[in-house]
């Protein structure tokens, strides 16, 4: 096979390939996809549901504020409609993140388009991945929607952990570990929420068991918003880094470290470290453009990496009863090594804000460690009771890609027609 076997531009082939990846997984994991039209029709017949979702996510109370959130969401989807097999909610978040990153990423790759073809793959676990589309020059960024759910949960939990000094005119958040530990001792519901998130992702790869979580105080909203944006921009910014640096990213096996040569591991690990720098640089550049100073915009990637590490460790505790740390994989270095490398870059990169950002990094790391230590006894008790991870539900992106080795020809329309017929058949069930 060669590129001549497919008609259409490289981007059209990439978009069709993405649709095939999504459809291949939907056939086995989800009853059917939801188109934008079906999504809007559902909300017309359930007029208060979107308002309820907005209220639970944003803790807004006024109808005017909720209405503004709902209108913004609907307008955003119409301006950039999702593809046939996209989750509209997840796609809306991803489109918003990429729109913010595009403007700050372009100077790093002059004369080239940085915006990739991106898509939500509706699978469990916390994954984002950049790959080359076969026979094209396009890169495809695949993201699990669970990444955004975790970012939402942990930004709320961290914001609620802090101590707030409130005056009639200002609100100041304190994240010094000593003060936060005392606060957590008085607020067991915050530690319990963290434990539910860890257990849910460790058992199912999803947020199914975590339940809903609302901020305990309105003073935490600004911190929550800042942390949420920092995590989202960092995770996708890392993938932009692979594209800017023109990494030769192919699908790699999920085998053990010993199955590839040391030189190959070192090269792949080097790519991850380099892409991590863009997961730090791009959010910081965006924050500066927005006039942010002394903010947590640079701590998003370390927070996400720590959470992914905790969830991996939780799975091992549930499976074996021991807390053995991972040594990394054939494609990714150990999370703790990546976090240390990012921390060492914070001061030089942020210059006048560097000292604050390093302190914020250390404080949030200490807070997460406090919450993790409070969660470990819960995990040990669950293991003793025979609770084990549902491993067959932890479908990884590599497994999805394995099922679609090459894109089908978009020019004939046969593949699109086949997908539509399949969806109609599922709809009749």
pLDDT, tens digit, for every residue of 265-321?
454 778 888 899 999 989 988 988 888 766 788 899 999 999 999 999 999 999 999
Residue 214 clears pLDDT 90, i.e. is over it:
no
Q: For residues 45 and 40, give the distance between their C-alpha atoms in angstroms, rounded to a whole number.
A: 9
Residue 378 pLDDT > 80 = yes
Q: Report yes or no on 208 lying in a domain.
A: yes
Residue 137 backbone phi and psi in degrees, to 5: -95, 5
Pick the more confident residue, 297 or 367: 367
Q: Provide the 8-state DSSP code for 396.
A: -
Containing H/E element for 356?
A: helix 354-384
Provide the pLDDT for residue 89: 73
Instruction: Report the Cα 429 to chain-centroid distance in Å.
Output: 32
**115: pLDDT strictly greater than 60:** yes
pLDDT at 67: 67
User: What average pLDDT does range 158-185 have in this prediction?
Assistant: 93
DSSP secondary structure letters along 405-423 = -SPPPSSS-HHHHHHHHHH
207 located within any domain: yes
Q: Is residue 63 in some structural domain?
A: no
User: Mean pLDDT, to the nearest integer, of 151-171?
Assistant: 93
- Using the predicted structure, report yes or no on whether residue 261 has a pLDDT greater than 80: no
Alpha helix segments (H runs only) across 80-210: 88-105, 146-161, 177-186, 188-204
> What is the per-residue pLDDT for 12?
83
Q: For residue 53, is it within any domain?
A: no
Looking at the DSSP bridge assignments, the partners of residue 181 are none
* Predicted model pTM: 0.80
How many Å from the N-terminal Cα to the C-terminal Cα in the chain? 37
Measured in degrees and rounded to the nearest 5, phi and psi for residue 199 equal -65, -40
pLDDT at position 55: 57
Does residue 70 belong to any structural domain of this protein?
no
- Give me the number of domains the chain comprises: 1
Domain presence at residue 75: no
- Average per-residue pLDDT for the chain: 76
d(CA 265, CA 271): 10
Checking if the pLDDT of 372 tops 90, the result is yes
Element (H, E) at 163: strand 163-166
Expressed as residue numbers, the domain containing 243 is 1-35+82-429
Helix, strand or coil for residue 413? coil
**pLDDT average, residue stretch 130-135:** 79
- Residue 223 contacts residue 180 (beta carbons within 8 Å): no
Candidate ranges 167-171, 388-392, 403-407; pick with highest mean pLDDT: 167-171
Residue 162, domain member (yes or no): yes
54 part of a folded domain: no
| The pLDDT of residue 109 | 80
- Radius of gyration of the chain measured on its C-alpha atoms: 22
């Amino acid at each position: 096979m060669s590129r001549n076997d497919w008609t259409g531009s490289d981007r059209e082939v990439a978009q069709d390939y993405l649709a095939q990846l999504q459809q291949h997984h939907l056939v086995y994991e989800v009853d059917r996809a939801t188109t934008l039209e079906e999504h809007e029709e559902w909300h017309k017949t359930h007029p208060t549901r979107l308002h309820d979702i907005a209220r639970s996510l944003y803790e807004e109370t006024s109808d005017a504020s909720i209405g503004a959130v709902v209108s913004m969401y609907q307008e955003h989807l119409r301006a950039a409609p999702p593809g046939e097999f996209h989750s509209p909610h997840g796609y809306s978040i991803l489109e918003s993140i990429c729109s913010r990153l595009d403007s700050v990423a372009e100077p790093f790759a002059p004369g080239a388009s940085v915006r990739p073809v991106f898509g939500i793959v509706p699978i469990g676990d916390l994954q984002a991945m950049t790959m080359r589309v076969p026979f094209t020059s396009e890169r495809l960024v695949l993201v699990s929607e669970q990444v955004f759910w975790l970012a939402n949960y942990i930004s709320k939990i961290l914001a609620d952990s802090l101590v707030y000094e409130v005056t009639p005119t200002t609100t100041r958040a304190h994240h010094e570990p000593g003060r936060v530990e005392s606060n957590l001792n008085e607020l067991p519901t915050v530690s319990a929420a963290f434990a539910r998130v860890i257990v849910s992702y460790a058992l199912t790869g999803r947020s199914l068991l975590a339940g809903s979580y609302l901020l305990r105080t309105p003073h935490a909203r600004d911190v929550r918003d800042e942390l949420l944006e920092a995590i989202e921009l960092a995770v996708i910014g890392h993938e932009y880094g692979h594209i800017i640096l023109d990494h030769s990213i192919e699908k790699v096996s999920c085998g053990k470290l010993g199955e590839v040569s040391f030189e190959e591991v070192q090269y792949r690990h080097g790519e991850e470290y380099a892409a991590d720098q863009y997961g730090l640089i791009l959010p910081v550049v965006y924050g500066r453009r927005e006039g942010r100073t002394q903010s947590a915009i640079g701590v998003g990637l370390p927070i996400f990496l720590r959470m992914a590490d905790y969830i991996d460790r939780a799975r091992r505790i549930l499976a074996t009863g021991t807390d053995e740390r991972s040594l990394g994989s054939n494609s990714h270095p150990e999370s703790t090594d990546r976090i240390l490398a990012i921390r060492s870059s914070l001061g030089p990169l942020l210059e006048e804000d560097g000292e604050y950002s390093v302190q914020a990094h250390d404080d949030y790391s200490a807070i997460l460690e406090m919450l993790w230590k409070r969660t470990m006894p819960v995990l040990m008790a669950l293991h003793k009771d025979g609770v084990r991870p549902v491993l067959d539900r932890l479908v990884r992106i590599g497994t999805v890609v394995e099922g679609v080795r090459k894109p089908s020809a978009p020019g004939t329309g046969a593949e699109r027609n086949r997908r539509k017929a399949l969806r109609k058949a599922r709809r009749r069930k």
